[in-house]
Structure 1
Amino acid sequence: MSKKRKIIPYNPKLKELARQLRNNSTKAEIILWLKLKGKQMHGYDFHRQKPIDDYILDFFCHELMLGIEIDGYSHELIEIYQKDQKKEKRMNELGITILRFTDNQVLKDMFNVLLSIEDYIRRFEKHTPSPSQEGN
């Protein structure tokens, strides 16, 4: 019995902007992407600059329902912070958990950034039966 994958809506108008963002990634995004791409993170498939609803997530794994956001210095501004809060609230309504890291954390403390992501995965796997365990 295969588990149905939840369909998550997105605004098609964001596809081109997402492409532009992928082509103009920050240094922190590039460095984290090198650790996430190609199912390197415990076999999970991450996408970058993924349109979801009316937003774009820096990184997203559908199977984990996990979004990862890298916040640059502009995110310290109150207007950007408020937009981030609204975005995170909407993602939570869609069943998506958001992990946030600063550029500085990614650039200077990648070990703990990866540890946080792995911790989320361990907790997710502990509470979510794999398809091979369902019905046993």
Structure 2
Amino acid sequence: MELTPLARKLRREMTEAERLLWYHLRNRRLGGLKFRRQVPIGPYIVDFLCLEKRVIVEIDGGQHNFPDERARDLERTRFLEYKGYKVLRFWNNEVLGNLEGVLSVILEACQSSFSSSWSPSS
């Protein structure tokens, strides 16, 4: 399945929390780091990606609290970590209620993360 059209649709239909976070991540506003949004990686579309630092940021709504969704999220996280990414997950209400804290965690993860030259086979 081609994920690019779906990724484009998701970019147009971001949640309030995603829009708020994107405002602070775009145009290298956070630590001079380049982030992209709604990026296909393997069979998944991740919310935000800093490719240089191999950090993925996922913003989860209430539907992720159900057991089936948690199992899918765990499978997705394992796949992405196997591919060499660090995955950060935040709830929508965390972004909306504690934006500075969320940005601080993201920046810290990027500062301590791998560079893009790292690969799982090395």
Normalising by structure 1, we get a TM-score of: 0.81
Q: Tell me, what secondary structure is at the counterpart of 1:117?
A: helix
Residue in 1 that maps onto 2:61: 72
Gaps of 5+ in 1: 1-10, 129-136
| Aligned partner of 2:15 among 26, 37, 48 | 26
Shift of 1:43: 1.2
User: Partners of 1:121 and 1:55 in 2: how far apart?
Assistant: 21
Shift of 1:122: 2.5
Shift of 1:121: 2.2
Which structure is richer in relative contact order (CA contacts within 8 A, separation 6 or more)? Answer: 2
Shift of 1:111: 1.1
Residue in 2 that maps onto 1:96: 85
Please say if residues 33 and 50 of structure 2, whose CA atoms lie closer than 8 Å, have aligned partners that are also in contact. Answer: yes
Please say if residues 80 and 86 of structure 2, whose CA atoms lie closer than 8 Å, have aligned partners that are also in contact. Answer: yes
In the alignment, structure 1 residue 123 sits paired with structure 2 residue 112: yes
User: Partners of 2:55 and 2:107 in 1: how far apart?
Assistant: 12
| Residue correspondences, number | 115
| Aligned partner of 1:46 among 17, 32, 35 | 35
Shift of 1:36: 0.2
Larger radius of gyration: 1
Gaps of 5+ in 2: 116-122
Indicate the percent of aligned positions where both proteins have the same amino acid.
Answer: 35
Shift of 1:81: 0.8
Q: CA RMSD in A?
A: 1.2
Residues 60-85 of structure 1: CA deviation (Å, up to 9, x unaligned):
01101010000001000111111111
| Aligned partner of 2:101 among 82, 88, 112 | 112
Q: Tell me, what secondary structure is at the counterpart of 1:95?
A: coil
User: Partners of 1:61 and 1:118 in 2: how far apart?
Assistant: 10
User: Partners of 1:117 and 1:62 in 2: how far apart?
Assistant: 13
Letter in 2 for 1:108: G
